[in-house]
Amino acid sequence: MSRWFALALVAVLVTGCTSSSTKKPDEPDKGSKVRRFAFKDVPSNREVGAPLPGEDAELTAPDGRSVHIKDYRGRPVLLVFTRGFMGYICQYCLTYTAQLASKKGELEAMGVTTLVVYPTKEQDEAKVKEFTEAVNQALQEEGLDALPFPVFLDRGLAAVSRFNLTGDLSKPSTFVLDRQGVVRYAYVGEAPDDRPAIDRVLEELRKVPAQ
């Protein structure tokens, strides 16, 4: 289990994989590199000023523990939902999380806890095996060394359902929570590339009250 979580984390950080014109639009082709996407400078499109509904939804941590978003109160939290695993690795998720990783120092300097959630509908070992094989291929192409952020598995789309993020698996979503768990910024995308620019996310984090 822990090996799979490590691989899942690398999957959303690596910058390999591109789109295929003959299959799904964001399914990777062998030997290609991911395009760099320019995400949007956009305001919140979900309610802010209150705790995240469903923050007690259960996630599975990299070491197998069950955790909840509310467990991280006391520090600012950047909560990112990827689209999840649908038999291939979404190149937009790869690029977005790689851009986040490039700001790791700034996030740490602000005392931010960054949580990346990887939704999965399936719980069977066959789907896990399929996913790890896709990740291993990406690792062979990219050779990434660092694991800057923990990834949390949303088994059976439990958190996705509680937060009303349901899409193909999950709508790509970004939340900024203050130290009391109050949502200060929330953006839920309607398409794979519909995500807030990392600079906008950092700007929103800088607005989080010190206490």
Q: What is the DSSP string of the chain?
A: -HHHHHHHHHHHH--B----SSS-TT---TT-BPPPP--B-----S--SSBPTTTT-EEE-TTS-EEEGGGGTTS-EEEEE----SSS--HHHHHHHHHHHHTHHHHHHTTPEEEEEEEES--SHHHHHHHHHHHHHHHHHH------S-EEEEETTHHHHHTT-BSSSB--EEEEE-TTSBEEEEEE-SSTT--B-HHHHHHHHHTS---
pLDDT exceeds 60 at position 145: no
- State residue 174's pLDDT score: 96
Confidence of residue 138 (pLDDT cuts 50, 70, 90): low
Residue-wise pLDDT tens digits, 11-60: 444 433 333 333 344 444 443 333 467 899 999 999 999 988 878 888 87
pTM of the predicted model, to two decimals?
Answer: 0.77
Cα(61)–Cα(117) distance, rounded to whole angstroms? Answer: 10
pLDDT exceeds 60 at position 135: no
- State residue 119's pLDDT score: 87
Closest CA to 104 of 84, 83, 78: 78
What's the average model confidence in pLDDT over 164-175? 90
The residue with greater pLDDT, 139 or 107, is 107
Q: Which domains does the chain have, with CATH numbers?
A: 2-206 (3.40.30.10)
CA angle 93/114/141 to nearest 5° reads: 40
Cα(117)–Cα(58) distance, rounded to whole angstroms? Answer: 11
User: CB count, 10 Å around CB of 176?
Assistant: 26
Q: At what angle do helices 2-13 and 125-142 cross, to 10 degrees?
A: 50
Cα(160)–Cα(117) distance, rounded to whole angstroms? Answer: 9
User: Which pair of structure tokens corresponds to residue 38?
Assistant: 């320019």
